[in-house]
Amino acid sequence: MGCSMSFFSSPEAETASEGGAGPAPRHRTVGVRVGSVMVGGGAPIVVQSMTNTDTADVDATVAQVAALARAGSEIVRITVDRDEAAAAVPKIRERLDRLGVDVPLVGDFHYIGHQLLADHPACAEALAKYRINPGNVGFREKKDRQFGAIVEQAIRHGKAVRIGANWGSLDQELLTHLMNENAASARPRDMRWVTREAMIQSALLSAARAEEIGLGRDRIILSAKVSAVQDLIAVYQDLARRSDYAIHLGLTEAGMGTKGIVASSAAIGILLQQGIGDTIRFSLTPEPGGDRTLEVKTAQELLQTMGFRTFVPLVAACPGCGRTTSSVFQELARDIQNWISTSMPEWRQTHPGVENLNVAVMGCIVNGPGESKHANIGISLPGTGEQPTAPVFIDGKKAMTLRGPTLAQDFQKIVLDYIDKNYGQPGRDAAE
């Protein structure tokens, strides 16, 4: 895969957008088909996730893949680390197909991927994409041969490949070469810069080698993951400037809870605003026994909040203040949000377009009526000292006023009636 590329004259980053009026135009990349999903080439930014089950456990893996897909993951990666896992992959694919879950599966290979794909052709066929880490594909004289063997399997089976360099498992031979070259330079760079450059070169040299072997450019996706926000931004800015391969974004080892969410959102959000990125993943560490689908929901929320895609109806709610000492508006906002979340898998099939719905649940008269008018449906609940009434606005006009202990249930019914009227499929009920 070669050893180095010239890198001491790389240009400065371009401005994302003039005047900050909106995101920069999307970085143009070659489209790659992964199963039924298009990545890059101007296609909508794709949300992907990864299981944390033992792939050899077919039942557990099928259940988690199905849950991730129902949550909205459009591609799911699974670990293929040994013979038992490889043998399980076609069974997992078959079970998912029987369940009507057609999400493409990506095989995550390290060290012995070439051997597993050769020994388990049914696994090679069942996967939609192979993920190769150039730093873990082999060492010394075996590296090129084993990398080439995986690429040849991808060509044979008509599959896409993600070449994913990673900060924690970088090609040490390449890194050492670049460090020596940097040390001999008249103007040496700092070591973090050299390490980022090694990641970029690892991905680009590997992609070039894959093309030499015969893999089409429309079968290659690149990633270069690190765990520090500023490094991630710098790496992907440079990678995008130097190639037109489809790009997968992700902050590796992002962390747990709010730390992981904030770090991933900051790094990925900045890159998306600059037009960089065709598919994203939030690599969140779940709580013990926690919900794996959180990484899907947060990725969707980032894309929807930034205006790139819509996945679920938006529920706007005020944060509360001294005017909203009652918890009624908080409970109603929570209940509406949870109800929408649990209903979306069905609504996607029965109410196309419902993801564009905006609902407002406001806590007092200060911003309540105004925010409610901007939503498709909004309710302004009474604040401290206000009359115990709640005006409801539909498409910008006051439609009714709710009162009494069933206010929450009444409003939920109004929302459902609006959804049925505006997003329900005509003739569906009659046909059923």
Closest CA to 163 of 199, 117, 212, 126: 199
Contact 205, 1 (CB under 8 A): yes
How far is 220 from 162, CA to CA, in rounded Å? 6
How far is 40 from 160, CA to CA, in rounded Å? 13
Look at 150 and 428; give whichever has higher pLDDT: 150
Specify the pLDDT at position 20: 54
* pLDDT, tens digit (0-9, with 9 covering 90-100), for 82-95: 999 999 999 999 99
Specify the pLDDT at position 185: 86
How far is 386 from 404, CA to CA, in rounded Å? 14
Closest CA to 73 of 295, 341, 246: 295
**pLDDT mean over 362-368:** 83
Question: Tokens standing for 203?
Answer: 């991905």
Question: Tokens standing for 335?
Answer: 């209940």
Phi, psi (rounded to 5 degrees) for 278: -115, -25
Phi, psi (rounded to 5 degrees) for 240: -65, -35
Look at 119 and 361; give whichever has higher pLDDT: 119
* pLDDT, tens digit (0-9, with 9 covering 90-100), for 13-63: 344 344 556 788 999 999 999 999 999 999 999 999 999 999 999 999 999
Neighbours of 42 (CB within 10 A): 10
Burial class (CB in 10 A: 0-12, 13-18, 19+), 339: middle
Q: Which amino acid is at 212?
A: E
Residue 385 has pLDDT above 70, yes or no: yes
